[in-house]
Amino acid sequence: MTQDAANIQQEPFLDFDTVLGESKVMDILAQLDRELIGLKPVKTRIREIAALLLVDKMRKQLELSSQTPSLHMSFTGNPGTGKTTVAMRMAEILHRLGYVRKGHMVAVTRDDLVGQYIGHTAPKTKEVLKRAMGGVLFIDEAYYLYREENERDYGQETIEILLQVMENQRDDLVVILAGYKDRMDRFFKSNPGMRSRIAHHIDFPDYTADELLLIAELMLAEQHYRLSQEAREAFRSYLDRRMAMPNFANARSVRNALDRARLRQANRLFAKGGRLTKDDLMTIEAEDILASRVFTGLPDQDHVSA
């Protein structure tokens, strides 16, 4: 055996598949695939981050010194595109790989962080940070923290506290800022210190009508409902119309629409009376969809989102 071969044989190593299996990160990624339809660019980016952290963990085990990757993130996109769900799974990935102690997620908005009078903001913000330590702090509609038009707005105090914690305690807390992309872009321009601490910017695209139809069927199946073939066609038509209307919120609007369809189904069965089979109780019919204001245009009990 040559000296070079002997050196290679003696070189310490780790088996990637073993480390990956022990982390159970693939289980979380698989769960994310099951939970969310589509979102291929988002899922790809999450896998890339998981790969980076896994390799970083292996480097540390083999005593290769390197700086811990910056993990603070920005999730941008319209409502109902899965940002909160992905944040929860990201917290689990970080925990499995040893980057946070607990792996929980604390979701907040401006009202949870910013006080209404002098001396109120710092305690509120620090209390939220205390709860989030060891996990992920998810701040939805983060741009509301900063109100440029109001020089006396207390949100600036929250931002300053966050900046300190994101820098000094980044080994114990990951912050994810979320909101509409255009508003988040303006927020970062107004707060360059915040932008400099965000390593990963992930944009969540809107769902297509076909993806939303699959999401609707999954939501119904979870509650032991289903669409008849005619109802499925009606709901696909509903989506085409609803997506062109204001205030459409992707999966959130789909959930609201299904809640209304279930209500109409219950009222239809109530009016019908008599014997009801299991199939009757499970099936949403086309009439339960077509009674929506989206089709009728009537000012009935339905909100526009249904």
207: alpha, beta or left? (left if phi > 0; alpha if psi -120 to 50): beta
145: closest CA among 173, 169, 175, 174?
175
Task: State the pLDDT confidence band at 301, using cuts at 50, 70 and 90.
Answer: very low
Structure token digits, residue 75: 């999730």
Residue among 165, 166, 142 nearest 155 (CA)? 142
State mean pLDDT over 206-231.
97
Domain boundaries, the chain: 3-204, 209-296
- The whole-model pTM stands at 0.85
Fold of 209-296: Helicase, Ruva Protein; domain 3 (1.10.8)
Mean pLDDT, the chain, integer = 90
CATH level 2 (architecture), domain 3-204? 3-Layer(aba) Sandwich (3.40)
Q: What is the mean pLDDT of residues 167-187?
A: 94
Residue with structure tokens 């992707």? 250
Residue 8 confidence (pLDDT) above 80: no
State how far the Cα of 181 lies from the Cα of 78, in Å rounded to an integer: 8
C-alpha distance from residue 237 to each of 182, 213, 287, 289 (Å): 30, 10, 13, 10
Per 3-state DSSP, the chain is made up of helix, strand and coil in percentages (nearest 5) of 60, 10, 30
Residue 134 carries which side chain, given as an amino acid letter? G
Q: Does position 302 have pLDDT exceeding 70, yes or no?
A: no
Reported as a single tens digit per residue, the pLDDT across 75-122 is 999 999 999 999 999 999 999 988 899 999 999 999 999 988 888 899
